[in-house]
Structure formats: C-alpha cells, structure tokens
C-alpha cells in the first residue's frame, strides 16, 4: 500500500474509487477538490493506479475489496464489462452493506449491474458524464459544465444530483429503461461525429489535399455549424442543397460518389433522407419537394 494524504476536516463521506482510468481519475480529482476524502483507490495493477493517484490522493490498493471497505461512497469506474463482476466481488466479500452508496459511471449500463450491492443493503446509482475524454488531462478540462445522466435509487437520487453539482456538472434524470437509447444518442453525437469527420477528411485526401490541409479546410465549417446548433438549435441550423431543395446539386453529388467513392454513396443517401425531414421541419421545403428529394435519394423507391 502507498499512503497518500487527503483533505482534513471534511464532513463528507469517504470515497473509494475502483478503477482509475480517465473517468475515475478525473472524477476523483474533482471530488477531492470538493472536500470529499478520497480514502482509497484501486486498479488491476500498481502501475495504472500509481499514475492516477497523483490526481486523486488516497491509499493505493490492487485489491478492489480492500479499497471498497474504506469508502462509504464506492465508485466503480472500471470498463463496462467489469462493473458487475467487481460489484459482485466486493459484495460477496463483505465490503458493502447498509449505509453505503455504490455508484458506477457507465452510460450504457443500468442499475442491474449493481444488484449484488443492492441485495447487500447498499444504495445504488449511476452518474454518467456526457463527455468525450481523450486522456486524463482532457477529462479534467472537459468535466466542468458537462451534463450528467443520473439514474438512482429513490433514497439517494437527491444525493446523486448534488454530487454532480460538486463535480461542476449539470444533472438530469434518466430512467433505467432508457439508458441504452440515451447512450446511443451520446455515441452518435460524439463517436459518429468523429467518424463522419474522418470520412470527410478522406474525401479531401482523395482530391489531393494533405491531412493537415483537409482539417484546415473543413474545420471552420464544422466549428461554425456547431456554433449555429448551440445558438439556434438543430432545425434552424440546416443549410445547403437539401435545405434549399437544390435537386440538381444532389444529382451531381450522387454521380460523383458513384464514380469515385461508391462505398460512401449509401451513407450520403441515408443522411440526405434525414436532412430532408429536417428541411421540412424548418419550413424551407414543401412536402412535394421533400418527396422529390427522397425519390432521388432512394432511386425511385420512396413513396
């Protein structure tokens, strides 16, 4: 064990963090700053936990149960597939019980992965930051001001909302049954945006730009679009040929994809169908023009 100092004189419950990756380390950093005593941190290897403990403080363990015994708040911030097994281990070995709070931070998992702790008498919750974390430093920079989806037992729901405030975030309640769709939407907003930008970069590479030049070309457009979405909302931010009903331009796009990058044509058609619906909501397209666009994008199969 490696002893580390924590804040003195705090009246808040002691925290044990099980899994000290990007999220666990960043959350521990902010809880420590909010006067939560970090009693223990644990990971599968001394090397990984030693890197994170500089940010969190606390006593280092490689055994999850020994760490969990020292916290009244137990944060399980492992990878998703390990949450239930880790929870079952610490429950089976007597590290959780009445008066303790066991929390995971997965967007996709519900409270079912913490059932072993609940059966042992603990209260359970999920507090999920809706944010992208490339590394620990990036996570610490991004958490303040982020939204957190909260799913919690009724007896600690108010506490879960309060701890999000202590992390500098904004909380909202997500029903347990809605977690998969909630997380899928977050993945679309972040992971699929990255993927889409990677495909855009690839198109510019195909026409002779370097990766650096491609980013310089399209990034101001992306930044401006995101700024518009933030200030005007998604519907009013739609611009371009579909918003204008410019069928001739769409035909040129489809011909170019078909000739030069056929593997992306299907994606372009699928996104275009969704954009047509947004254009209708915006009021820049008539139902007749939407139908014409959809017929083009589905090669005549639209009804």
Each residue of 209-234: pLDDT tens digit? 999 999 999 999 999 999 999 999 99
Domain closes at, from 174, 205, 229: 174
97 in any annotated domain = yes
Q: What is the CATH number of the domain that holds 267?
A: 1.10.1040
5 in any annotated domain = no
Domain closes at, from 174, 191, 224: 174
Give the domain range for residue 247.
182-297
Nearest to 125 by CA among 142, 94, 148: 148
Longest dimension (CA), the chain: 71
**125 - beta bridge partners?**
103, 152
Domain closes at, from 148, 174, 200: 174
199 in any annotated domain = yes
Each residue of 107-156: pLDDT tens digit? 999 999 999 999 999 999 999 999 988 888 989 999 999 999 999 999 99
8 in any annotated domain = no
| Structure tokens given for 160 | 């879960």
Angle between helices 247-260 and 287-297 in degrees, nearest 10: 10
110/42 same-domain check:
yes
39/126 same-domain check:
yes
Q: pTM of the predicted model, to two decimals?
A: 0.85
């Amino acid at each position: 064990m490696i002893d580390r100092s924590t804040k003195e004189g705090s009246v808040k419950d002691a925290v044990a963090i099980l899994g000290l990756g990007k999220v666990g380390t960043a959350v521990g950093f902010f809880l420590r700053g909010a006067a939560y005593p970090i009693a223990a941190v644990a990971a599968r290897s001394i090397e990984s936990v030693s890197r994170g403990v500089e940010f969190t403080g606390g006593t280092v363990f490689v055994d999850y149960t020994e760490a969990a015994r020292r916290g009244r708040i137990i944060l399980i911030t492992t990878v998703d597939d390990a949450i239930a097994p880790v929870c079952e281990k610490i429950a089976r070995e007597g590290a959780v019980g009445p008066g303790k709070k066991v929390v995971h931070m997965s967007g996709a998992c519900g409270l079912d992965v913490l059932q072993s702790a609940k059966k042992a008498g603990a209260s359970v919750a999920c507090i999920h930051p809706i944010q992208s974390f490339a590394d620990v430093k990036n996570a610490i920079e991004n958490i303040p001001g982020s939204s957190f989806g909260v799913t919690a037992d009724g007896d600690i729901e108010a506490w879960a909302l309060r701890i999000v405030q202590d992390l500098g975030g904004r909380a909202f309640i997500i029903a347990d049954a809605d977690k998969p769709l909630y997380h899928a939407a977050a993945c679309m907003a972040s992971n699929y945006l990255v993927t889409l930008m990677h495909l855009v970069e690839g198109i510019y590479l195909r026409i002779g730009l370097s990766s650096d030049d491609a980013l310089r070309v399209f990034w101001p457009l992306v930044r401006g679009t995101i700024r518009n979405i933030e200030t005007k909302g998604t519907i009013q931010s739609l611009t371009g040929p579909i918003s204008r009903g410019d069928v001739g331009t769409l035909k040129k796009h489809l011909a170019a994809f078909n000739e030069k990058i056929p593997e992306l044509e299907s994606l372009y058609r699928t996104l275009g169908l969704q954009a047509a619906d947004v254009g209708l909501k915006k009021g820049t397209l008539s139902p007749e023009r939407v139908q014409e666009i959809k017929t083009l994008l589905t090669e005549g199969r639209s009804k």
